[in-house]
Chain A
Amino acid sequence: MKPAVLTGVHFLDGDSACAEGALAAGCRFFAGYPITPATEIAVRMAERLPEVGGIFIQMEDEIAAMAAILGASCAGTKSMTATSGPGFSLMMENIGLGVTMETPCVVVNVQRAGPSTGLPTLGAQGDMMQARWGSHGHYEIIALAPASPQEMFHQTINAFNLSETYRLPVLIMADEIVGHLSERVVIPEASKIRLRSRPRPRGRKDRFKPYHPGPDGVAPMANAGEGYSVHFTGLTHDERGYPVMTAEAQAEMLSRITGKIRSNLDKIVEVEEYRLEDAEIALISYGISSRSSLAAVDEARRRGIKAGLLRLITVWPFPEKTIRELAKRVKCLITVELNLGQIHLEVQRCAGGIAPALLVGHAGGTAITPEFILQNIMESHEQKSFLKTSA
C-alpha cells in the first residue's frame, strides 16, 4: 500500500490537490462521472484509491454518483464526488436527501460557464446561488471556495471535517481556473493534519434515537452493520427516524437541521482579511476572482487608494455579521465575482444601505483581470457621491 498522505512539496494542479486532500482527510470511497473540468479529480482518485485500500467506481450518471456516496457514508466510509455545473444540477435531489438524512459527504463543483452546457473548458463562478438553494425545500448548507491548489488541498480536508462534525453534504465551489492551474502545494505530515469524524452513539443500542441531537445540535450517527437498526428516510421524520406527517414534525426537523448550522456559525465561517484595517473601499471576493482582487488591491494602494480585500473562504453560510460590520466602517463595498451578481446580492442585503454595495461581475469564461477591477476601484474612489453608482 502507498501512503494516503503524500508529505512533501509538490507542483500540482487544483484538481489533483483536491484529490490528495480528500485522501489525506480519510476519504476511501469516490463515485463519480466524467465531466470537464472535474474529470481529473476522478482520474486521480481512480489511480490512488486502490493504493490506499479504498474503492473507486465510475457510476452511470451524476445522480447515481451522489446516491452512491450517500450509501457509502451510511456504511461508515468518508466519501466524495466531483462534478461541474450540469452534473451539479443533476445531483441536487440527492444533495437534499443527504441534508435530510444528515449524511456526511463532500461534493466538489469545479464551476464552468453556464447555464446548460455553456463553456465546458472555461471557468466561471455562476453556481453560487445554486449551491445555497439548488435542492428543493428550505435548508442550510456549507460551501467553501478555495482560491489556489494549496487551498484545494486544505479546504478539502476542512470540508470533510465540517461534513463529519455537522453531518451534512459539504460543497467545495471551486472553479475551472483554480482547478486547472498548477502551483506549489505543500502536503504536511499526516500527524499534523487534524481530522474529525462523525459523533458516535453511546449507550444502549435498543434505546438509541438516530436524530436526537447532542449538545452542539448534531445527533450522533450509527452506521449500517453496527447493530443499531437505524432507519434513515428522506421523508420528514422524528427523532427515531420514523416518518411523521405533521406540521409539528416538520417544524422540529427543520429547526434541527438548520439550527445545527446556524448555532455554530462562528465555528464554521472562515474569511481572510487583506489590508482591510484602514480600508475605505472593501473588495469582497472568493475563488479565482479573489486572486485578481489581491493584485488590484495592491496596485490601488500603490496609487494611494485605501483598498482592502475580504476573501470569503466559506461562502455559505454567508458571513453576514462580518459584512454588516464592514459596511459600517468602509465607504463602499465591491463584490468581485465571475458571474453577473450572486454573492453580490448577499453583500447588498447585509450592507443594508449603510454602505453602497457595487459589483464587478463577468459573464464567465476567463478570469476577471486585476486591471478591470482596479478601474472599478478608481471609479468608485472618484465618485463624489457613492449613491449614484448601481451594480
Chain B
Amino acid sequence: MSRNRSSKHPLDNLLRIDRIPHIWCSGCGTGTVFSSSLIAIRSTVPDLTKTAMVSGIGCSGRGAGYVNLDSYHTTHGRAIPFATGLKLANPELTVVVFSGDGDLFAIGGNHFLHAARRNMDLTVICVNNFNYGMTGGQAAATTPFLAKTSTTPLGNPEPPFNLPLLAYASGATYVARWTMLHTRDLTQSIAEALSRRGFSFIEVLAPCPTGYGRRNKQRPIDSLKLFQEKSIVKNGADPAEVILDFKQGITLGKFVEYDRPTFLEAYDKICKKAQ
C-alpha cells in the first residue's frame, strides 16, 4: 500500500522545507549526495546546533541554502578558508564543507592543498560531476580526457586530476571516493569523517544530466549504470593507482585513513609556552 500525500519525510527537520523543491535538475546527483550527508550528520553529530555547513559557488554550493543548520554560502573557491576561520574561532563546531569539483579544485585548489596540509579539522564533501554545471556545463579540472563540454565542444584536450591522490599528497588524513549510487557506503564514509578529527575528504561521483550527461551521450540512468557496472571497490587502495575511466573502471573505496595532529592540536601545544 502506498499513499500519495505530503507526509513528513524523515529528513524534513534538517531541511529548510520552505525552500523545497530545490533547484537541482531532474536526475542531478547533488541531491542524493546532499541527502546522504544529512543522514550521516543526523546519525553522527552529537549536537546539531553546533554543526555548520559551508559551501562555495556552483550547484553543490546551493546545498548550504537547503540545510536547516548554521550555513554559509561563500564566494567561489573560498569555502575552505572560510570554514577554517569558522572552525578555529569555535573549535566546538563540526564544520562540513559541501562543494563541487570546480569550486574546490580549480579556483579553490590552493586552499584545498593547504587545509589538507595543515590537517584542518574539516569534512570536505566534493560532488564531482565532471564539469561546471551551474554555468551550463564547461570543462573542469575533473572533466575526462576527450569529453565534450561547452568550452571543449570538440573534446577535452586536458587530462583530469586524480583527486584522491591530490588529497593524499597534500596531507589529507581520510580520503574516500564513492558514487551517489553507493548511498550506504557514502553515508558511512561521511559518518566516519564527521566522527574523526582531521582533514577528511570524500569525493562523490554524480551525474549531471543537463551539463555533462547531455553532451556525452549519458542519460541520467546511463550514468548510474556506468557507476554500477564500472565500479570496483578497493578499500585501502593506493591513491596513485586508483582510476576513473568510464571504459576501464572506477576505483571506489576508503583509500586513506590515519591520524596525525590537527592544526589546532599542534598550535595549542606550541602556544602553551606563551601562556
A associates with B: yes
Partner-B contacts on A (CB < 8 A)? 1-2, 28-29, 31, 47, 50-51, 53, 55, 57, 59-61, 63-65, 67-77, 79, 93-94, 97, 101, 223-235, 242-243
Closest 4 CB pairs of A and B: A71-B85, A68-B85, A50-B271, A233-B73
Cα-based distance from A105 to B69 in the complex (angstroms): 23
For A64, list chain B residues within 8 Å (CB): 78, 81, 84, 110-111, 114
Q: A64 — nearest CB in chain B belongs to which residue?
A: B81
Q: Give B53's nearest chain A residue, CB to CB.
A: A231
Q: A79 touches which one: B72, B89, B110 (CB < 8 A)?
A: B89
Q: Given A97-B75, A230-B70, A231-B64, A60–B89 Cβ distance below 8 Å? A: no
Contacts of A51 in B (CB 8 A): 274-275
**Which residue from B19, B84, B271, B273 sits with its C-beta under 8 Å from A71?**
B84
Binding site of B, secondary structure by majority: helix, strand, loop or mixed?
Answer: helix
- How far apart are the CA atoms of A61 and B78 in the complex, in Å? 11
Chain A residue contacts of B220, Cβ below 8 A? none
Decide if B88 touches A224 in the complex (CB within 8 Å): no
Residues of B within 8 A of A1 (CB): 275
**Closest residue on chain B to residue A28 by CB atoms:** B89
Q: Is the CB of B78 within 8 A of A76?
A: no
Interface membership of B16, Cβ < 8 A: yes
* Alpha-carbon distance A242/B89, docked complex (angstroms): 25
Residues of B within 8 A of A57 (CB): 84, 88, 263, 267
Check if B75 sits within 8 Å of A231, measured CB to CB: no
CB contact between A61 and one of B16, B52, B110, B274 (< 8 Å): that residue? B110
Q: Which residue on chain B has the smallest CB distance to residue A56?
A: B267
Report the bound CA distance from A29 to B89 in whole Å.
7
**Among B72, B84, B111, B114, contact of A232 (Cβ-Cβ < 8 Å):** B72
Q: How many residues of B contact A (CB 8 A)?
A: 41
> 10 extra interchain contacts, Cβ-Cβ under 8 A, other than A67-B111, A72-B89?
A67-B81, A74-B86, A75-B90, A77-B89, A224-B52, A224-B90, A225-B50, A229-B49, A231-B70, A234-B74
* Assembled-state Cα–Cα distance A243/B274 (Å): 44
B93/A75 in contact, CB under 8 A: yes
Judging by beta carbons under 8 Å apart, are A71 and B70 in contact? no
Does chain A have a CB within 8 A of B24?
no
Residues of B within 8 A of A60 (CB): 81, 110-111, 113-114
Mark each residue of chain B from 20 to 42: 1 if its CB lies under 8 Å from any CB of chain A, else 0: 00000000000000000000000
Chain B hits for A233, CB < 8 A: 64-65, 72-73
Pick from A50, A93, A228: contact of B275, CB below 8 A: A50
Shortest B60–chain A CB gap in Å is 14
The distance from the CB of B271 to the nearest CB of chain A, in whole angstroms, is 4
Q: In whole angstroms, what is the CA distance A63 to B82 when docked?
A: 10
Known contacts A50-B271, A67-B78; is-contact A72 B73 (Cβ 8 Å): no
